[in-house]
Amino acid sequence: MNEETAVAAVKVTHLPLIREPRGSLIFGEYGAHLPFIPLRYFIVFDVPAGETRGNHAHRRVTQALICLRGRVAVAVDDGQHRDEIILDDPARALIIPPRVWAAQTFGSGAMLLVLCSEVYDADEYIRDYDEFSRIVSAT
Amino acid sequence: MNEETAVAAVKVTHLPLIREPRGSLIFGEYGAHLPFIPLRYFIVFDVPAGETRGNHAHRRVTQALICLRGRVAVAVDDGQHRDEIILDDPARALIIPPRVWAAQTFGSGAMLLVLCSEVYDADEYIRDYDEFSRIVSAT
């Protein structure tokens, strides 16, 4: 099941949750839940409450953002539309394709898991908003 | 960097940690840190303290176990050697190849991330220890 956002290419995918007395399990698989095969993952934690991270776009990489603990507010912007998505449930994955500017504001104690469609390449980041605007308006 | 265990095929990989005033980031990539491309991931949490999960082996799937919070003790057994590995640091990934029997005992509040080399297939699990023993002794 997908949830739309005001930024057409950005979607929220609902992940299966299996809740049992001996523990809870949430899973995501390529195909059914993830539109890409993750070649890289990272986790972000110990972020001071209210701190904003990100503030860049990617030229090629698609990401899935999953809030494992606490609350992360994600601002997304494709140059034409903007939205803010609140992630506070590990059973929701926010799918952000390339050429979407994104910023994450962390709540207290939050932990964010990010799955990425490529390994790290510094040249693949767009860190300047004016450059981002030029790129997305040219396509 | 890899840490050996008493079960030759099971290793602990150390993941890069970037610690900054605005937050900490730990990453893992296919190739440098993960010997497989994850097609599936799952997280396990809300497990009663002291509960043991797992107690099975896989015919084909390799997994990476990363303890995101708290402490998980992982017992591994290849039919010849056994070991117990304590995971209490998200910068360590325990790599468990196929045909290793494994069980995870959760500490209070622990959260475990597991990356898997294949999507779910119930037939791929070995859930009976005697069958496991026959399979590993035949190879």
Per-residue pLDDT band for B13 (boundaries 50, 70, 90) equals very high
B33 Cα to chain A: minimum distance (Å):
9
Enter the pTM of the model: 0.97
User: What are B101-135's pLDDT values in tens digits?
Assistant: 999 999 999 999 999 999 999 999 999 999 999 99
**What SS3 string covers chain B?**
CEEECCCCCCEEEECCEEEECCEEEEEEEECCCECCCCCEEEEEECCCCCCEEEEEEECCCCEEEEEEECCEEEEEECCCCEEEEEECCCCEEEEECCCCEEEEEECCCCEEEEEECCCCCHHHEECCHHHHHHHHHCC
Predicted pLDDT at A131: 97
The answer to whether the CB of B23 falls within 8 A of the CB of A105 is no
**Would you say A118 and A62 are in contact if contact means Cβ atoms under 8 Å apart?**
no
Chain B residues whose C-beta sits inside 8 Å of any chain A C-beta:
19, 21-32, 37-48, 51, 53, 68-69, 90, 106, 111, 113, 115, 119-120
Using only C-alpha atoms, what is the Rg of chain A?
15
Residue A114: the pLDDT is 98
Residues of chain A with pLDDT under 70: 1, 139
**B139 has a pLDDT exceeding 90:** no
Give the dihedral sign, CA A91/A97/A100/A101: positive
Exposed, middle or buried: residue A43 (CB in 10 Å: 0-12, 13-18, 19+)?
buried
Q: Render pLDDT for B49-93 as a digit per residue (tens, 0 to 9).
A: 999 999 999 999 999 999 999 999 999 999 999 999 999 999 999
Separation in Å, CA of B66 to nearest CA in chain A: 11
Checking if the pLDDT of B2 tops 90, the result is: no
Residue B138: the pLDDT is 85
Q: Which residues of B touch A24 (CB under 8 A)?
A: 44-47
Chain A positions contacting chain B at CB under 8 Å are: 19, 21-32, 37-48, 51, 53, 68-69, 90, 106, 111, 113, 115, 119-120
Whether residue A23 and residue B48 make contact (CB cut-off 8 A), yes or no, is yes
A70: three-class secondary structure by DSSP:
coil
Find, among A85, A113, A104, A114, the residue nearest to A2 by Cα.
A85
CB A12 within 8 A of CB A90: no
- Per-residue model confidence (pLDDT) at position A2: 83
The token pair that represents B73 in the structure block: 């003790």
Nearest residue to A74 (alpha-carbon basis) of A98, A43, A48, A95:
A95
- What pLDDT score was predicted for residue A71? 98
Give catalytic residues of A, as residue numbers: 56
